[in-house]
Amino acid sequence: MKKVITYGTFDLLHWGHIRLLEHARQLGDHLTVVLSTDEFNQSKGKQAFHNYEQRKYLLEAIKHVDLVIPETNWDQKITDIQTNQIDIFVMGNDWEGQFDFLSDYCEVCYLMRTKNISTTYIKQQLAGSVQA
Ligand code: C2G
C-alpha cells in the first residue's frame, strides 16, 4: 500500500483544499492528513475560525482522506513519516523547496496551488461585506 501524507490548517475548508487532498490521494492508496492544532496555529501566527475538532470532523468526512492526526510542531515530519511508513510527502507548491530535506525519508511532491481561493481571501471578502 502506497501511503501519502500532507500537512495543514485547512480552516474554512474550500475547493483549493479539496483539490490538494484529491490529488494527494491519487498519488497512492492511503492519505494521512496531519492537521495543525489550535496551539500550533498560534505559533504559526494563525487564528483558525474553526477549532481543531471542527476542522478534523470536516476532513474526516472527505472521501479522499483516510486518517487525520494532530500537528503540534514544525519538527514532527520525519517521525510522522517513519511511524506511519509514508511513501510520499505532499504539499502545495507555495511550500516549494521548504521540505526537500524529507527526500532522505520519502518522495517529496509539491502540487500546484489552486489559484483565486484561500482562507484569507474568504475572510477578507466576508469582512468587506459586513454592513457598517
Ligand atoms: N492549498 C492549495 N490551494 C489553495 C490553498 C491551499 O493547494 N488555494 C494547499 C496548501 O498549499 C497546503 C494545504 O492546501 O498544502 C493546506 O493549506 P493551509 O491550511 O494554508 O496550510 P498551511 O498553513 O500552509 O500549513 O507544516 C506545514 C503547515 O502545517 C502547512
Q: Is 74 exposed, middle or buried (0-12, 13-18, 19+ CB in 10 A)?
A: exposed
CA of 83 to the centre of ligand 1 (A): 22
Q: Please, which residues bridge with residue 68 across strands?
A: 33
Q: What is the mean pLDDT of residues 6-14?
A: 98
Q: What atom in ligand 1 is closest to the CA of residue 112?
A: 7
Residue 132 pLDDT level (bands cut at 50, 70, 90): low
63: part of which helix (H) or strand (E)? none
Task: Specify the pLDDT at position 129.
Answer: 82
| Residue 122 clears pLDDT 70, i.e. is over it | yes
Is the pLDDT at 131 greater than 90? The verdict is no
Greatest alpha-carbon pair distance for the chain in Å reads: 54
Active-site annotation holds for 123: no
Beta carbon of 58 within 6 Å of any ligand 1 atom: no
Cell, residue 113:
496551488
What is the amino acid identity at position 20? Answer: L
**77 carries an active-site annotation:** no
- What integer pLDDT is reported at residue 76 of this predicted model? 98
The string of pLDDT tens digits covering residues 44-101 is 899 999 999 999 999 999 999 999 999 999 999 999 999 999 999 999 999 999 999 9
Give the helix ranges, DSSP H, for the chain: 15-25, 38-43, 52-60, 77-83, 119-129
**What are the cell numbers at 90?**
505532499
Render pLDDT for 13-30 as a digit per residue (tens, 0 to 9). 999 999 999 999 999 999
Sorted by where each starts, the structural domains of the chain and their CATH numbers stand as: 3-129 (3.40.50.620)
> Is residue 21 within 6 Å of ligand 1 at its C-beta?
no
Question: Which of the listed residues 55, 91, 110, 111 should we mutate to test ligand 1's pocket, taking the one with most ligand atoms within 8 A of CB?
Answer: 91
Please choose, from the candidates 110, 129, 121, 119, the residue with its C-alpha nearest in 3D space to the C-alpha of residue 58. Answer: 119
